[in-house]
Every structure is written in C-alpha cells, then in structure tokens.
Amino acid sequence: MAEPLVTGEDVRNYLRLQDSADAAWLQDAADAATDYVNSLAHVDATEWDYRTRTGAIMLAGRLYSSRNAPLGAAGFDSMGGVISARTDPEVARLLRIGRYTPPAVDGPVTLT
C-alpha cells in the first residue's frame, strides 16, 4: 500500500496542535481530504505537486476544525455569534476548484 499523501500528523502540525488526543479524528479528516482531492479530474492521484498537497492539508484542517462549529457557529464573543466561513478561497485556489477550476473539454472536439 502506498504511503498516504496527507496524514493526521500533517494536519496536526498545520493546526499547531500540541497533543494528539484527537489522532483518530485528525486522520479521518486527512483521509477525507485526500479522497476528495483524488476525485478531482485534474489531479493525478499517485503524485501531487506542492500546491495540491498544501491545499489538501488546509482542507483537512478545516474539516477537523469544523467539528467545533456546528451549523457554522464557531463561537461567541461580546458582539454575539462568530460564524465560520463556508468556503476558503485559498483552498479553492490551491486545489483549483470552484471558480478556480481549469477549463476542460468534455468529449471529442471536432474542428471545422
């Protein structure tokens, strides 16, 4: 079996977590992000460039952190609720998803 492209340890380091009490959840987030990134048509599932790997680690970090933000509520401060953003444009740019998806042609092209 090939070594995983993103590990729970990568996510822990990215989030600067001191302990590994949630090691299983960190690995689940890393696995989910890896599975998603590998499903993208423009990504080679066997070898990622630095941009793709960094985006996958950031995505896994968001997945891990979102467990503390049910329904998007990340917490409360003196002004009221703090809402977490639904998307991250940096992750979208790195993974080339959403509005940053590279143009593609579906099916054969006939030039006339």
**Within a domain: 90:** yes
pLDDT in tens, 63-109: 998 876 665 555 556 666 555 566 789 999 999 998 888 787 777 77
Residue 76: strand, helix, or coil? strand
**Within a domain: 111:** no
Query: What separation in angstroms does the CA of 17 have from each of 20, 94, 98?
Result: 7, 23, 29
pLDDT in tens, 30-62: 999 999 999 998 888 888 999 999 999 999 999
Length in residues, the chain: 112
Other CB atoms within 10 A of residue 11 CB: 29
**Within a domain: 107:** no
Region of residue 71 (phi > 0: left; psi between -120 and 50: alpha; otherwise: beta) = left
In total, how many domains does the chain have? 1
Helix 23-39 to helix 50-66 angle (10° resolution) is 130
| Entry pTM | 0.76
**Within a domain: 16:** yes
Tell me which residue range forms the domain holding 68.
Answer: 8-100
**Within a domain: 69:** yes
pLDDT of residue 28: 94
